[in-house]
Structure 1
Amino acid sequence: MNQLFARHALLPDGWCADVLLEWNQAGDLVAVTPGSAPAAGIECVEYALPGMINLHSHSFQRALGGRTEFAGDSHDSFWTWRDLMYRFARNITPDHIEAIAAQLFAECLRHGYTSVCEFHYVQRQPDGAWYDRPAETAERVIAAARLAGIGVTMLPVLYSYSGFNDSPLKPEQQRFRTDADDVLRVIEALAPLRDGQTEVGVAPHSLRAASIAQINAVLAGLPPERPVHVHIAEQQAEVQQALAHTGRRPVQLLFDQVAVDGRWCLVHATHLSSTEVRSIAASGAVAGLCPTTEANLGDGLFPLEDFLAAGGRFGIGSDSHVSQSPVEELRWLEYGQRLHHQRRNIAVSKEQRQVGEFLWQGALQGGAQAAGRPVGALAPGRRADLLVLDDGHPNLCGLALHEVLGSLIFSGNDNLVRDVMVGGRWVVRNAQHVAQQAIAARFKHTMAELREFR
């Protein structure tokens, strides 16, 4: 049996003292015992907490970071950014995809993510033909996750149309083209890769890119416990297009024609009516919030306060990867609400008044649900995924225990994550990823190749 002793560990009910953590060779926690005494020879740490789940990732977009921050001739928006992303995506190869994903995942791990949900839509060759293996690019992302040591939920994307009313795809979207049969074939091809570190679900890209009939066809062929993610109501223009073509807002349209439940993750859901807020909360679905990307693209602010009041569940993702830090996502999730409401300390409940602890625990619970994997808590039966904080850092000096997560999220920009374990294996030690140099070298080579296509 493998063991770690934490003087303070964040358990599902809050911080506990003198916790002995034990896990088996498969990487699953088998015992979590507060009030223990440290035995000789067992590693002891000051602060241990569950690793965060990144519930929304387009890993290849990590290579675009900082390269789209220039003004065009008209007002820039999500849609002008998307055109730049399409131009980048047309030249990326499977080798590039794997190298970029490995770099991203190593960075995510160093900052405290231990699981990622990959919303994967670059599935065809640049000319629109399939690779010899239809799951080629998805397999490359999973290979990168295994190299880096992060848990992954692979979500092959259903992407058939360029807009509502079944508008045909544009030439620059042909790499993404799939129908219901295509997606189910990719999911079947990935089945042998499912294990303690890997799950496979599905992702209808959006209601503008996949029809309701297609979504229901995929759901009929998908095992009922698998996660389902979808982009929805991210921009005002999307809402207006949905109203013009269907007479209903995107979330309303989805709920009217699809059985949405707790295995669903509605990504962004930025622009909601009050009825839609209550519908998502009542369904048990998770709102997948990506504040740094939503800010970078000018999407808007999710109605968090109303959603929480309705009992809604949320998680966080880094999406386009302008940041790889869960701290930054959670910080800006709260700060966006403060700016909107012109008040402080929004993300709390009657039971939990500490903003940092409410955010971390809430994002763990929603993220684990969206990932469809046994993660997100230091508890028997969950994966041995945990973070050790740098207790020697000044930001953690002299704090009461209930102040630790508040300081982690809202104090300074230093990374306070010292060590990271995933599935019972240390993948970050002393803030360095165990394969950091080799992964970075391959990423640099890939970026040099991609610069030639500018």
Structure 2
Amino acid sequence: MARDHELTGRSLFAAHALLPNGWARNVLVQWDGDGCIMGVAADSVAPAGVPVAKGPLLPGVPNLHSHAFQRAFAGLTEYRAESQDSFWSWRNLMYRFAARITPESLEAIATWLYVEMLEAGYTAVCEFHYVHHDQGGTPYADDATLSLALLRAARNAGMGITLLPVLYQTSGFGGRPPRQDQARFIRSTDNMLSLLERLAPATQAQKAALGLAPHSLRAVPPDSLAAAVRGLTALNPQAPIHIHIAEQTQEVEDCIAWSGQRPVQWLLQHAPVDARWCLVHATHMTPAEYAGAARSGAVAGICPTTEANLGDGIFDMPLWLQHGGRWGVGSDSHACVNAAEELLMLEYSQRLQRRQRNVLASTAQAEVAAAMTLQAVQGGAQAAGRAIAGLAVGQQADMVVLDAHHVALRDLPPHSMLSAHVFGSHRTSAIDSLWVAGVCRVSQGRHALHETAAQAFVAARSATIAPD
């Protein structure tokens, strides 16, 4: 039995908390020494000495899709590079930036990014990591060098992480050879499985999850995809699998030209897609693909601000939900790093598409911000392959407290504060504090590493930007 002072240090009382089944009053949350929630009691009385939240208590939101190095690239492509700019012209510029990343700069960029994420309400990240080799494409002496840099960044910032090394082999459908500017990404299937074996002890020591990211159908031929999934399953049958799919209309057209099928249609018929899978973007699907993908149990990984930045298109969320689909949000290229703003962009895109309001409210949750938060937490936890599914016994104590005295929230009814946070507080953050695995990582809106990590990021970015 834990001593009273230990429980006091592993407890938090909130007058209002968003639990998996909705809002509750006077909630006492307690967790053990590993940061696992062992008690959630509503209608409680605050025990003596237990900290009291300064505002509503929320579950932490998992960020289910991240390319960490691209944070240093944000804002540097907002000019017309071609007569009609697109995802593909943006990608060419991004490749030039990726060619200059070093292990040291990647760690500095990722550390600052994870600090930003924590300050913005994310408590976990799924890192879709595809820059593997040195600047000429030659493997480092330790083939896991860049993966380990990301794990260190997450550990130092206190961010929960699911590491997803990316399998990348071809530059297009039909086995087209890789481009020269993709040399840092390329691995054989056997080499990828060896990397996963190398990383398993490091992720286990850090209580991180380890999965696999076949980059896309255009970058991983069918035989390699099947072999990689089999090999991953042999290593860990529960390991998550993430894949970019149907993000761009050109990708859909190229897939049809190659196979006679659309990307999601092909994947569902040729791969064992189930609840382990996260279909990142999945922007361009037919109604039959929406139904089939939702039935598979896979999570849709929606990245609203990146999809808007790149001109991808709009995911049909009501149709997905109609079929019982699960979803989560990611910040992807990190043009924006803010969990609330991803939810806002997601809801606003649906409003623009349908010319309606409060599209993603549910029968159980009429308040759209609460409905989206709970769904994003559930889907994000599934995609991460970790027990981070909200304020419930057996889940990790990943929690966010809003500042009830923030001008956007002050004197509002408690159930309205989350709505004000998502839809009205972005000039200054309304987050007061944040915990990951029961450890307070953000206090009074600021991470302890904020200044030092920011300075290191700026230096790394300056050193990485290619001269004109």
Both proteins in one fold, TM over 0.5:
yes
What is the distance in 1 between the residues matched to 2:124 and 2:262?
32
Please say if residues 212 and 254 of structure 1, whose CA atoms lie closer than 8 Å, have aligned partners that are also in contact.
no
Counterpart of 1:443?
457
Task: Please point out which of 287, 304, 307 is paired with 1:274.
Answer: 287
What does 1:378-393 align with in structure 2 at a 5 Å threshold? 378-393=391-406
Secondary structure at the counterpart of residue 394 of structure 1: coil
Is 1:243–2:256 an aligned residue pair?
Answer: yes
Deviations 1:321-343 (A, max 9, x none): 00110111110101001111111
2:358 pairs with 342, 345, 348, which one?
345
SS in 1 for 2:394: coil
Task: Provide the C-alpha distance between the structure 1 equivalents of 2:147 and 2:361, rounded to a whole number of angstroms.
Answer: 38
1:320 maps to which of 325, 333, 347 = 333
- Partner residue of 1:411 out of 387, 402, 424: 424
Structure-2 separation of matches of 1:423 and 1:349: 29
Kindly report which structure 2 residues correspond to 1:232-311, keeping only aligned pairs within 5 A, or say none.
232-311=245-324
Report the Cα offset of residue 41 of structure 1.
1.4
Note the C-alpha offset of 1:153. Answer: 0.2
Helix, strand or coil for the counterpart of 1:231? strand
Q: Partner of 1:171 in structure 2?
A: 180
Q: Is the 8 Å Cα contact of residues 91 and 453 (structure 1) preserved in structure 2?
A: no
Q: Give the Cα separation in 2 of the matches to 1:302 and 1:447.
A: 32
Distance of 2:462 and 2:224 partners within structure 1: 39
Match of 2:226 in 1: 216
The answer on whether the counterparts of 1:53 and 1:364 sit within 8 Å (CA) in structure 2 is yes
Q: Secondary structure at the match of 2:315?
A: coil
Q: Letter of the aligned partner of 1:208 in structure 2?
A: R
- Are positions 1:123 and 2:136 aligned together? no
Q: Structure 1: which 5+ residue stretches go unaligned? A: none
How far did 1:399 drift?
2.7
Q: Which residue of 2 aligns with 1:399?
A: 412
| CA-based RMSD | 1.2
Aligned pair partner of 1:12 in 20, 29, 40: 20
How much does 1:394 deviate?
2.5
Which residue of the partner structure matches residue 434 of structure 1? 448
Which has the larger displacement, 344-353 or 296-305? 344-353
Q: 170, 182, 185: which is aligned to 1:161?
A: 170
- In structure 1, what is the Cα distance between the partners aligned to 2:362 and 2:324? 10
Are residues 1:226 and 2:239 paired?
Answer: yes
Residue 105 of structure 1 is matched in structure 2 by 114
What is the CA–CA distance in structure 2 between the aligned matches of 1:352 and 1:22, rounded to whole Å? 26
Is 1:44 the counterpart of 2:52? The answer is: yes
Matched residue, 1:205: 215
- For residues 33 and 121 of structure 1, the distance between their equivalents in structure 2, rounded to whole angstroms, comes to 43
Instruction: Give the drift of 1:389.
Output: 0.4
Aligned residue in 2 for 1:357: 370
How far is the alpha carbon of 1:207 from its aligned partner?
A: 0.2
Shift, 1:437, TM fit: 1.6
SS in 2 for 1:395: coil
| C-alpha deviation, 1:452, in angstroms | 5.5
Residue 231 of structure 1, CA deviation = 0.1
Aligned residues of 2:116 and 2:337 also touching (Cα < 8 A) = yes
TM score, norm. by length of structure 2: 0.95
Give the counterpart of 1:334 among 347, 352, 375: 347
CA distance in 1, matches of 2:362, 2:449: 40
Change (3 A) 1:74 1:452: closer
Offset at residue 405 of structure 1 (A): 2.1
Question: In the alignment, is residue 85 of structure 1 matched against residue 98 of structure 2?
Answer: no
Please tell me whether the aligned partners of residues 48 and 389 of structure 1 are also in contact (alpha carbons under 8 angstroms).
yes
- What whole-Å deviation, never above 9, does each CA across 1:397-425 have from its counterpart, x for those lacking one? 33333323222211242311111111111
Q: Which amino acid aligns with 2:246?
A: A
Aligned-partner SS, 2:131? coil
Give the Å deviation of 1:135.
1.2
Partner of 2:37: 29
Query: TM-score, normalising length from structure 1?
Result: 0.98
Q: Which deviates further from its counterpart, 191-200 or 413-422? A: 191-200
Secondary structure of residue in 1 paired with 2:184: helix
Distance 2:359 2:187 in 1: 41
Distance 1:159 1:108 in 2: 27
Unaligned 5+ residue runs, structure 2?
A: 1-6
Q: Return the letter of the residue paired with 1:212.
A: P
Match of 2:438?
Answer: 424
Secondary structure of the corresponding residue to residue 44 of structure 1: coil
Q: 1:376 aligns with which of 389, 398, 406?
A: 389
| Cα distance in 1 for residues equivalent to 2:457 and 2:410 | 36
Question: Aligned-pair distance for 1:179?
Answer: 2.0
State the percentage of identical aligned residues. Answer: 46
Cα separation, 2, equivalents of 1:262 and 1:225: 9
Distance in 1, matches of 2:299 and 2:207, equals: 21
Q: Where does structure 1 differ by over 4 angstroms across 4 or more consecutive aligned residues?
A: none
CA distance in 1, matches of 2:365, 2:460: 46
Partners of 1:435 and 1:384 in 2: how far apart? 21
Secondary structure, aligned partner of 2:143: coil
| Aligned counterpart, 2:4 | none
CA distance in 2, matches of 1:386, 1:240: 43
Q: Is residue 97–residue 466 contact of structure 2 (8 Å, CA) maintained in 1?
A: no
Check the 8 A contact 2:22/2:365 in 1, yes or no.
no
